[in-house]
Chain A
Amino acid sequence: MEHIVVVGSGDGGTFTANLLASELGKEIRDGLVSLQLVGEHLEHPFQPGNLDIAFKGAAPRKYLRDESRLLRKGVEFLHDPAALIDFRQRMVSTKGGKILPFDHLVIATGAVADPTIIPGLAQGALNFHTGPEDSSKIWKALQDFKEGTVVVAIASAPHKCPPSPNEAAFMLDEFFRKKGIREKVRIRFLTPYPRAYPAERVSEVVAPMFDEKGIEVTTFFNVDKVDPEHKKITSMEGESFDYDLLIAIPPHHGADVVVRSGIGDSDGYVPTDKGTMKVLGQPGVYAIGDATNIPVSKSGVVAHLQSVVVAHNIVNEARGTHDELAYNGRINCPMEVGAHRAIFVSATYASPPEDQSPSTIKYIEKRSFAMIYWRALNGSLERVFDMFFGPTRFPVEELQEAKTA
C-alpha cells in the first residue's frame, strides 16, 4: 500500500487532500492507497474574511466551517497536530502519539503571524492576521473611536496576503467617511517597502489613491518596537510616530512543527523547488502555500494553484506515469480599494504585476470568491478556475529544456 500524508488542514492541505481523493478514489477503495490529512483545527477559516470582520463588522463565525464537512470521501482526517516530520525515517509523528509512515508527503503547515517577536507589539497593537476573534477586536475598537491617529503598520516582511495592509487602510478610510468623522481621523500607513505597494506598477495605482484619500504613507519603516504606554511606534531606521489606535501586521515565521523538525530555513520556511514544489533533496516530499520559502505571495490562491500541481505529481508518482507538472508562479491577489471597487495583483515568475484600473467588476469577482470558497475546496470548480486564471502550470520537461537551452 502507498501511504500519502498531508500535514496541515488549511486551504492548501484540505484542497490537496480532496484532489488526491478525487483522483485516487478507486485505489483508496481497493486498499492500494491510504490518504491521511493531519490537522490542528476542527474548524476551517476563510482567512480573507478577517478583513470583513475587522472593518465591516462581520460575525467572527461567518467565515468558519467544520473541517470534516469539507473533505471528500477517502480522506482520513486526523484531528491531531503533527509533532515531528522525520525525513530520514519517512514518517510523521503526532502530538497524540500516532506514527504515520509516508511514501508521499505534502507539507502544508502555513505561516504563523507572531506579534510576540517585536517588543511591545502584542500589547500595543491589534491585528487581523491571528484569527477571526482577534479581528473582531479591531471592529470593537473602531466603534469607540471618535478622533485621533490610526496607524496601519507592516511590522516586517514577508507576511500573508500582501495586499491586506493596503486594503485595511482603504477600508478604514471608508469606515470613517461613512461614520462622518473622517476629518477628525489621521490615517498613517507605515511600510518597510520602498513604496505604498511593493510591486512598482501596482504602487502606481495605489499611491495616488492613498494621496487622494489623505492616507499618509511612510516608506522604509521596519518596526523595531512599540511603546504601548506612550502609544509610540519606532522603526529600526530611527523614526517614531504616535498613535491612538495601532493596527499592525505581525512578523511571520514558519510553523512550529517545521522549526522543531529542523526542516526549515532560518525563518522556518521549507526550502522548496518553485516549479515542481518538491522539497529540495527529499524525493516524494512536497511543500505548498505559506509553508515554503519560494519568492511568491503567501496567499490562498497561490496555495490553491500549487495544490493542483502537487496532487497531479503525486498521482503521477503513485501510478508510475511520467507527465510531471510545474507551477508557473501565477498569483492573483485581490485588493479592495473602497467604494465597491477592487484591483487584482496578478503576475507569474516571468511577468511582474501590471498596472490596472480599479473596477466594480473586480470587486464583484472578489466578493464572489468568498462565496464559492467552500465549494472550491472540494475541487469541483477547477474548470472554472482554469478559465479564470489562464495558464498556471506547464509540463516539467519545458523547465528542463529551458535550463539546458
Chain B
Amino acid sequence: MSQRFRLPSGGHVDRSQRLGFSFDGRRYEGHAGDTLASALLANGVRLVGRSFKYHRPRGIFSAGIEEPNALVELRDGARREPNTRATVAELFDGLSATSQNHRGSLGFDWMAVNGLLAPFIGAGFYYKTFMWPAAFWERVYEPMIRKAAGLGRASGLPDPDHYEAAHAHCDVLVVGAGAAGLAAARAAGAAGARVILAEQDFLLGGDLLNEAEHDAWRSETIAALEAMPEVTVMPRTMVFGAYDQGVLGAIERVADHLPEPPPHTPRQRYWTIRATAVVLATGAHERLIAFPGNDRPGVMLAGAARTYARRYGVRAGETAALFATHDAAYDAAFALAEAGTRIAAIIDPRTDSAAMQRAREAGLAVRAGSVVNGTVGGKALRGVEIGTVGSASRGDAVPADLLMISGGWNPAVHLASMSGAALRWDDALLAFVPEEREESAWQRSAGACRGVHGFGAAAADGAAAGRAAAVAAGFDAADIPLPDAPSADHRPYALWEVKGGGKAFVDIQDDVTADDIRLAHREGFSHIEHAKRYTTHAMGTDQGKVGGLVGAAVLAEARGEPVASVGLPRFRPYTAPIAWGAMAGGEVGRHFQPVRRTALHGVHDELGAVWMDAGIWKRPAYYPKAGDTDGWASVKREARAVRERVGVCDVSTLGKIVVEGPDAATFLDRVYANTFSTLAVGRARYGLMLREDGIVFDDGTTTRLGPDRFFVTTTTAQAGPVMQHLEFHLASAWPDLDVSLASVTDQWAAMSIAGPKARDVVAAVVHGLDVSSEAFPFMAVADCKVAGVPARLFRISFSGELAYEIATPAGYATHVWQAVMEAGVPYGIEPYGVEALGLLRIEKGHVAGSEINGQTTALDLGLGRMLKKKGEFIGRVLAQRPGLTDQSRPHLVGLRSVDPARQIRAGSHLLVDGQDCGWISSATQSVVDPGWIGLGLLRDGEARIGSRIIAANPLMGEEVPVTVTSPHGYDAENLRVRT
C-alpha cells in the first residue's frame, strides 16, 4: 500500500529514506522523521484501537504525548511494550505494532457489546453492581472485570534490555525546546551558565516545526546552542516530575528509535537533574470539546491535523471540517487546504472574528454561530452534523472524513504545579496558568505553558526567563537575537460541551462522558478529586491532558459554579507514562540489593551449606551430609553434636560496637536496663536494652576490655538500629558525655565452639591462656593467640552448653576456623548452622527476635530481674506505665506437643478453654527429649505451667494439644555452661 496521504514535499521527514513497518500484521512504509501515527495516517489507516470500557472504535486523536486513543503494543516477544502512544513512537525500519484492547479483530470486537450495555454501565457501575454476594468479589467479579478491563498485554518475559540511572547538575535546566525553551537556553547559555535543555521530542522546535517560514531562526538557534560548550541539549528526554529544591526527574529514550539497543547501550536512562534555576517551557495541550460522537475515528485535535500536514507532510483526511472556538485553530484549516484537503465547513460558535474573515476571503465555508452536535459514521467518520448555538435540534450534515476540533489550549502546568507554583484561572484563555511568585524565583514558566502564545511572543518570554534564570544562578544577563512574528489569537469562546443525544466524551481514553460527570455530582461526588475517582475521569495514561479541564467545566456547570472554583485534580509525577525498567535501572536480579557475606562464607560454601537470608546477610541454615534424610535430620544431627560432643558455628553477623571514653561506663548504664559500670575488666555480661517506651529493644553481651573501653554486641537484625540509637542519644540527650562509638562488625569474625568437649578443642588451638574453668570461668574474656594469629576468647554461651567464642580479625577467619575443625576431629566436631542454633536456644529457653518482637517488655520475657532498681536508663520511666506492668499480659512460657509426633508452629494461637490467650513465638524439635517444643507468650503463663492447652492454627486446620512448661526446661541450674 502506497502512502497515498503523503504530500510530495514539505515538513521534517526524509522522503529518500523508506522505512518498512507492520501494524496488525499488514506491511506499510513510512519515512525517517515519522512517528508511527504519522506513518499510519500517511497510509490511510484510521482505526487504530478500541476504547477502554465500551470498546468503541478509535482513531489517532493527537500528535503528541497527550494521545488518549492510539495506544499500541510496540515490538514483539520479550520487548513487547503495551500502551505505547503511536504519536510519540519514532518510526524505525522493521517496527512492528499491534492494536490492543479487543477480542477478535480490531474491526470486529466482541467486547463492543459493552457499547450496547452503555446505559447500564455508567460511572460507578462496578461499585454498585458487584456488591453482592460479598464472597463473589474475589472469586468471580474481580477476575471477570480484570479480564475485560485493561489495555495492552505485558510481555510476561524478562526484559532483555538494560537501563541506567544517571545524575546531572546544571545552573539552568530548560524543559522543552519550543520557541520559548530554545530562546531561554540560548539566553542562559549566552550568560555563561551551564545549561541543560531537555526536549521529549526527537526534533527540537516544538510548534516551530510547523512553521517553515521560521525554520531559519530555529536552525540558527540550534546551531548557536551547539556552539556553546556549557550547553547540553538532550533530545528524546522527557522531564516527568519536579521535586524539591530544583531536583527534576527525566527519562532519556536512548535507543527506543532503534530496533534494539546497540551493544553496551541502555535502552533508556533515568536522569536525576539538580538545577540551580529552572525554566519550564513545556508548551500547551489543545483541548477537546464534548459533543455527541466526539470520539469517532476521524475526529482529531485541530493542532494535531496541522502538525501532520506541516511537520510530517501527511493529510489526515480527504474532506475536513473544523470545529473551533478561537482564531488560532484556523491555521489548521489553512494548512489542510494548502495540502489539498477539501475544507467542507468551518464551524464556529462565535458570530465573527478576524480569522473567520480571512477564511471567507480564502474561499472556505464558515458557519458562524454554529456547533457540531453529532457525527456520522462507524469505524470511520463519514459526516458531521451541524446545529446552531443554544439549540438542541439537529441541523444539517456535511460529509467529512476528518473533523478537526479545538476548544482552546491548556498550558502544560504539570511541572510548575508539582514544584509548588499555585495555579491561577485566566479568564481570557479559559485555562489555569501558573502564578508567578517571588519565593519561587529559581523556577519560572515561559511561553505557552504560562499562556504566552505565538512564536515571537513565546521566544521573547523564553529569553527573558532564561536571562532571569541565569541571574538567579549567579550570572550576568545577556541578550540574544529574537524573531519578530505576529501571534494568533488563542482566546476561546467559552464552549465546553454541546448537549444532545449520544455520548459526549470528556475523557476519551477512560470512556467518561459528560453525563458520567453529572451523575457523579448527583450522587454526591462533587469535589473534583471525588468525581475523578468515581468516574475515572483523567485517570488514564494521558492523565486528562485533552479533556481534563472539560470534565471540570461540566462539573462546574452541574455545581452552578465557575470552573475556577472547581479546579483540577492535583498534578503528580509522572507527567506521562514511563517504563518500569527505567525506574528499576540496574537494580534488578542479583543487583536488586547487596548481599552481605561473612568472612567464612567460602568455608560454608565448601561444606555445602544450605543458605538462608538474615536481612541481607547470607548465613548457613544447616550443612547436609550423606545419610541425612531431610533438612530436619541435618539440623537435629548438628544440634545433637553440640549437646553430646562439640560443634562450631559462625556468629560473625552479630553487631559489634566499641564504646570508648571516660564516660563509657556511665553511658552504657544509661542505655542498658542493667548495670555495666560494676563490670570488671576482662569480664562479659548479658545486657538488655529497652526502647524509650519501655519495650525491649535488643540484647547481647558486653565486655569490658579496659576501664574506659567496652565491646558491645547486638543481635544480627538490630546491629544498625542499635548503633543509631546510641548515636542519637549521645548527640541529643547526653552531649556532655565523653564517649566515642565505632562499629566493628565487619572487622571481626566470630565463631562459637559449644558442647561438652568445647574446652578440649579450645585448649588445643589457644596459646598463652589457661582455659580451665578456674582460670577462665564463665563470662571471662581475654586476648590470646589462636593457631598463631591474634584472637579474643570469650566464655559465653547461647546454646546452654559449655561454650567459647573466638573472635579474630576477619582476615584470619578461615585460618582459625580450619584450626578449630582440625583440633575438633578427635572429639567429633561438627559445624552447625542457624537452624541448629535456633533449636538449641529454644530448648534452653533463650529469647531471640521472635520473642523480642517490639511488643514485649522485660517482665513479659521473664527478664524483669535485670532492670536495675537504682539509676537512670532509657525506658525505665515509661516501662512503669500500667499497661506494661499489667500482670495479665502474655508471659514467656515453654510448650511441648502432647503427642511428640504432632508438629506445632510459630504463629499458632494458644487457646485456653476456647479463649485466645497467646501465641507460639518459636517452635522446633527437641533433641534432648524428642518431640515438638516451642516458646510462646501466654496470659497468666507462669500460673498455667503444667496445664494442657490447645495450639490452634486455623490456616493449617490444626488444633494441637500442648503442655505448658517452664521456658527453662534444659539445665535450669545452668550447670553445663559453668563446668
Is this pair of chains taken from one and the same complex?
Answer: no
Chain B residues at the A interface, C-beta cutoff of 8 Å: none
